[in-house]
Amino acid sequence: MWIFKGIVYLLVLIAMAVFFTQNSGQSVDLRLLKWEYLNIPLYYVMLGGFLAGILVSLIVGGIREVKLRNRMRVMGRDLKDRDTEIAELRALPLRELDAPTEE
């Protein structure tokens, strides 16, 4: 799986490099909320968007990872409690099978 991810990342980087070289002469005007930036090279805007996407995915993935680790910790604690209960039940004496029946 890590090979597939590496190939995908490499292809994205190659595509970005090709895009940057082909559009190196183009500039755009960027209006973001109340700020206005004029004549910014297009590849800076694309690189900023790419890096912002990486940052957002890292934050979302980190939050998910923390939730999963917390869930694993809770489940591990429950498993330990159940193992203790099973050990206690196994330690109980067995009742006799040949108990006298009432007649």
* pLDDT tens sequence across 2-25: 788 889 888 988 888 887 788 778
Reported as a single tens digit per residue, the pLDDT across 26-50 is 888 888 888 898 988 888 888 888 8
Q: Taking 70 as the threshold, does the pLDDT of residue 101 lie above it?
A: no
More confident: 28 or 71: 71
Q: 3-state class of 14 per DSSP?
A: helix
Select the more confidently predicted residue: 69 or 15.
Answer: 69
Residue 39 tokens read as 């004549």
Q: Using an 8 Å Cβ cutoff, are 28 and 51 in contact?
A: no
